[in-house]
Amino acid sequence: MTFLKLLIFTALLSVVGSFSLAQSDKKWSTKQCSDLYKAIGFFTALADKQWKKKSEEKGALYASVAADYSTVYQTVCNK
């Protein structure tokens, strides 16, 4: 469980750090968008796994993170 918390913290820190570097009128780099896209898939898979285990709280948390990342992706990575 500690590893999972560390992984989530690292992912969130990475995305938040990227926010500070992004300018509102410029799109993110291909690498940043690719990493964000992978994070969306990762959290979607975690949400699905937790839902199947009947752990609704964790599933909802991971689904929420994936949804938030999707919004960011649509905003700064859409071409």
Residue 28 CB neighbour total at 10 angstroms: 20
pLDDT tens for 47-64 read 999 999 998 899 999 999
Tokens read off for 16: 């938040």
User: Would you list the domain boundaries of the chain?
Assistant: 2-17+27-76
Tokens read off for 15: 């995305």
8 A C-beta contact, residue 39 and residue 28: no
For the whole prediction, is pTM greater than 0.85?
Answer: no
| CB half-sphere exposure, 40, CA atoms < 13 A | 15
pLDDT for residue 6 is more than 80: no
